[in-house]
Amino acid sequence: MRAAVVGAGPAGMVAADRLASGGAEVVVLEATGAVGGRTRSVLLGPGHRLDTGASWLAGFYSEALAYCSGLAMLRRDVTGTPQLVVGGRRYPAPFEPGVLARSPLLGPTEKLRFARWVAGVLARRRRPHVGPPRRADADRADRIDADTAIREAVGAAAAEYVLRPAFETMVFADLADLSAAFVEGWIRAAFDGRYRVPAEGMDAPWRRLAARLEVRCGVEVTEVRPQGPGGGVVVEPVGTFDAAVVAVPAPVAARIVPPGVPGRPAWLGELRHAPHVLAYAARPHPDPPPASDVHPAGAGRHRVGSVALYPGGDGRVPVGMQGATVSAEGWWSDELLAAGLDDRALAAALWDEGRRLEPGLFGLEEATVLHVARHPHAVPVFGPGHLARLAAWSPCPPVALAGDWTCYPCVEGAVRSGRRAAEVLLTAGR
Ligand SMILES: Cc1cc2nc3c(=O)[nH]c(=O)nc-3n(C[C@H](O)[C@H](O)[C@H](O)COP(=O)(O)OP(=O)(O)OC[C@H]3O[C@@H](n4cnc5c(N)ncnc54)[C@H](O)[C@@H]3O)c2cc1C
């Protein structure tokens, strides 16, 4: 079988690897100049790396971590973070019982309701789980939005002062837009607490695969369509293949795979990805303070979702330097992307807001390194009902769809989706 794989993110690279190991002749077609997609890392100088998208792998990402086997890994545990900022003062996120007991963010009744609710989530979701539940229709929490569910269960204060600030900046979408089941799943995952990152960048496993596969970068695929029974698949503008995996964000898949292609779900055009922009800068600093990560908390919308400071010597930022990232919330990312600012202006806008939140953030004029990342399709928005419709969907030959949006919005979801798409094509080709 000659197969094309569209997209060299984790889903596409894993699909290509699995197809090649199943005996297929594979070519990966990637629009940008590099492998990695939203796990792309950039080398900013000797020993100085920035993950421009995904920046950690959770301990339960069994398949993604298997692809990291043999790579040097750094620990990035999240226990004790983030710090939540209210009225200029900062408080630890009260997820641990001792911290919750001492936290002034919630009153005594709210603390009790919050503790009960967390215990209920942990009991319902016994272990971290990636992908749709086996019986999604039985998961009542997938039918309601997380904001409503949380306000009903624990009240407005826990929603505004704890859960929105801790969570929305991770997925760049409002709790009101997300399925309660999906949010509960991540809350379960946060209690796992063990996170890792490949020392050579989040894209290191995919770059390693690319070294033994045929990957053509700079090829933007504009259409993928089956030619008719037994007639192969036309991949514009490259040629005809026996089969294809399309492993791109949902809005791109909706554009390049025409309606009516088997396995193209009717809801494909409705699935939104939240946008995200961030700026990273680093300055020389002989003795930087320890790492910190602050998120704004409290009612209303915040422009910046987090400001993180990293000391040199953490395995990514060179000794003698201090790095900082300012990340925009999804709605502000949308506005910033629409404004079409150049890198310097975009970084300045983020930095101005970031310094209001984190007075310890150095000025951009001190920075010797600057990088801006723009993600128009950062994270698929798993709204109410999406897990249920995924449980009722699977990829089909000869155009198998893959990508995080078909499984779960994280690297592990992407990896599993890529393997599944490849298996479907290999099985059909036998
Ligand atoms: C800022 C940010 C932070 C994140 N943090 C985390 C995290 O810490 N942990 C985690 O697990 N996940 C995280 N994620 C999510 C994770 O990055 C994604 O779930 C994962 O990368 C999805 O992989 P994918 O292969 O489905 O898609 P992608 O990684 O988007 O890969 C798709 C590829 O297809 C290419 N492409 C698109 N259109 C075309 C076309 N027409 N022709 C050819 N090629 C095309 C793209 O250039 C891209 O290389 C984060 C995402 C972002 C943006």
Q: Please report, to the nearest 10 degrees, the dihedral formed by the alpha carbons of residues 160, 166, 171, 176 taken in order.
A: -20
Residue 305: closest CA among 175, 404, 135 = 175
Same domain, 424 and 344: no
Confidence of residue 404 (pLDDT cuts 50, 70, 90): very high
Same domain, 386 and 262: yes
> How many Å apart are CA 35 and CA 56, to the nearest integer?
18
Predicted confidence at residue 138, as pLDDT, reads 57
CB count in 10 Å sphere of residue 178? 24
Find the helix packing angle between 146-154 and 180-190, rounded to 10°. 70
Mean pLDDT of 377-383: 97
Predicted confidence at residue 80, as pLDDT, reads 56
Mean pLDDT of 366-390: 96
CATH code of the domain containing 149: 1.10.3110
Mean pLDDT of 314-339: 96
Same domain, 176 and 236: no
Predicted confidence at residue 406, as pLDDT, reads 97
Find the range with the poorest average confidence among 17-31, 54-68, 122-136, 351-365.
Answer: 122-136
Mean pLDDT of 105-112: 94
Is the peptide bond between 398 and the residue preceding it cis, with omega within 30 degrees of 0?
A: yes
Residue 353 within any structural domain of the chain: yes
Q: What is the DSSP letter of 160?
A: I
Residue 197 within any structural domain of the chain: no
User: Does 4 have pLDDT greater than 70?
Assistant: yes
Mean residue pLDDT of the chain comes to 94
Given 145, 163, 191, which residue is the final one in a domain? 191
CATH code of the domain containing 259: 3.50.50.60
Contact by Cβ (8 Å): 304, 350? yes
User: Does 417 have pLDDT greater than 80?
Assistant: yes
Distance 141 CA to ligand 1 centre (A): 27
Confidence of residue 229 (pLDDT cuts 50, 70, 90): confident
Mean pLDDT of 254-260: 97
Helix intervals (H) in 257-342: 330-339
Distance 79 CA to ligand 1 centre (A): 26
Same domain, 169 and 222: no
User: Does 415 have pLDDT greater than 80?
Assistant: yes
Residue 50 within any structural domain of the chain: no
Predicted confidence at residue 188, as pLDDT, reads 85
Confidence of residue 132 (pLDDT cuts 50, 70, 90): confident
Residue 393 within any structural domain of the chain: yes
350-380 burial, b at 16+ Cβ within 10 Å, e below that, comes to: bbebbbebbeebbebeebebebbbbbebbbb
Q: Which residues pair with 9 in a beta bridge?
A: none
Same domain, 390 and 267: yes
More confidently predicted of 18 and 127: 18
Same domain, 266 and 407: yes
Residue 57 within any structural domain of the chain: no
Predicted confidence at residue 134, as pLDDT, reads 67
The token pair at 237 is 């503008």
Same domain, 67 and 124: no
User: Does 335 have pLDDT greater than 60?
Assistant: yes
Closest-lying ligand 1 atom to the alpha carbon of residue 278: 1
Residue 270: closest CA among 374, 382, 420, 142 = 382
Same domain, 287 and 374: yes
Report angle CA 395, 396, 397 to the nearest 5 degrees.
135
State whether residue 171 is helix, strand or coil: helix
For residue 45, CA distances in Å to 49, 203, 318 come to 7, 17, 9
Report angle CA 334, 336, 337 to the nearest 5 degrees.
65
Q: Which residues pair with 17 in a beta bridge?
A: none
Residue 226 Cβ < 6 Å to ligand 1: no
User: Does 192 have pLDDT greater than 90?
Assistant: no
Residue 248 Cβ < 6 Å to ligand 1: yes
Q: Percentage of the chain surpassing pLDDT 70?
A: 97
CB count in 10 Å sphere of residue 228? 7
User: Does 337 have pLDDT greater than 90?
Assistant: yes
Cβ-proximal residues to 399 (8 Å cutoff; 6+ apart), any chain: 224, 225, 226, 233, 243, 244, 246, 257, 261, 262, 263, 264
State whether residue 245 is helix, strand or coil: strand
Give me the residue label for tokens 């983030």. 82
Q: Which residue of 14, 225, 248, 406 sits with most ligand 1 atoms within 8 Å of its CB, as the best mutation to test the pocket?
A: 248
For the chain, the domain total comes to: 3
Find the range with the poorest average confidence among 187-201, 222-236, 403-417.
Answer: 187-201
User: Does 303 have pLDDT greater than 80?
Assistant: yes
Q: Which residue of 29, 39, 408 sits with most ligand 1 atoms within 8 Å of its CB, as the best mutation to test the pocket?
A: 39
Predicted confidence at residue 190, as pLDDT, reads 80
Confidence of residue 95 (pLDDT cuts 50, 70, 90): confident
Predicted confidence at residue 161, as pLDDT, reads 92
For residue 419, CA distances in Å to 11, 180, 387, 403 come to 7, 27, 19, 10
Confidence of residue 124 (pLDDT cuts 50, 70, 90): confident
Cβ-proximal residues to 307 (8 Å cutoff; 6+ apart), any chain: 293, 294, 324, 325, 326, 327, 354, 357, 358, 361
Same domain, 342 and 290: yes
Q: Give the helix, strand, coil percentages of the chain, each rounded to 5.
A: 40, 25, 35
Give me the residue label for tokens 């690297």. 411
CATH code of the domain containing 350: 3.90.660.20
For residue 340, CA distances in Å to 277, 325, 344, 346, 376 come to 12, 20, 12, 9, 12
Report angle CA 404, 407, 170 to the nearest 5 degrees.
55
> How many Å apart are CA 409 and CA 330, to the nearest integer?
15
Confidence of residue 430 (pLDDT cuts 50, 70, 90): confident
Domain boundaries, position 128: 92-191
Residue 159 within any structural domain of the chain: yes
User: Does 79 have pLDDT greater than 70?
Assistant: no
The token pair at 178 is 């997300």
Same domain, 12 and 103: no
Same domain, 121 and 182: yes
Distance 38 CA to ligand 1 centre (A): 3
pLDDT tens per residue across span 287-298: 999 999 999 999
